[in-house]
Amino acid sequence: MDDRFRRQDMYAGLLLGAISLFVLVESWRMPRRLQEWPAYAGPGVVTGMLGLGLLGMALGLLIRAWRRSGAGLAIRMDEVRRYLRDPMTARLALAVVLCMGYLLALGRGLPYLLTTGAYLVVTMLLFRAASWWAILLTSALATAAITLVFNRIFLIPLP
């Protein structure tokens, strides 16, 4: 097996571990009592479980990288520079910025339908997912379906 996969596993494990710890902390900060339901029905429970699962996968990658033979695990600056110049890294950074912008916009007084619909349209347009009319139709249907499922079936109010 190629030595670079050992380092990639380590880098991915560290990044996913940091993200999962952030998810765990934020899910812990979510309200535990919502509409007088028990704490296990709060919005942070599922998010916390997802964060724990992601942390487990991150640890699995780190253990696999550590146990695999090959090149050393030290982070080299030439690899970091090459990674930062890679066009795929720019696409990843764009996706992360879009997600963070969407998350920061939620609950700030903007209607959920507008925020989610705009996020889906912008994301699909930037990544050229389909034609503009298919993007608009998909965004509208997905936003409406998510709203319907959460508000009417799960009885969870959306921001």
The amino acid at residue 54 is L
Q: Could you give the C-alpha distances from 117 to 94, 130, 133, 150, in angstroms and in order?
A: 18, 16, 14, 15
**To which residue do tokens 């079936």 refer?**
153
Please choose, from the candidates 5, 9, 2, 22, the residue with its C-alpha nearest in 3D space to the C-alpha of residue 59: 9
* pTM for the predicted model, two decimal places: 0.62
Instruction: Give the torsion sign (CA, 151, 107, 117, 103).
Output: negative
Give me the DSSP letters along 94-105.
Answer: HHHHHHHHHHHH
Residue type, 3: D
Question: For residue range 13-58, what is the model confidence (pLDDT) as tens digits?
Answer: 888 899 999 888 888 877 666 667 666 666 677 788 888 999 999 9
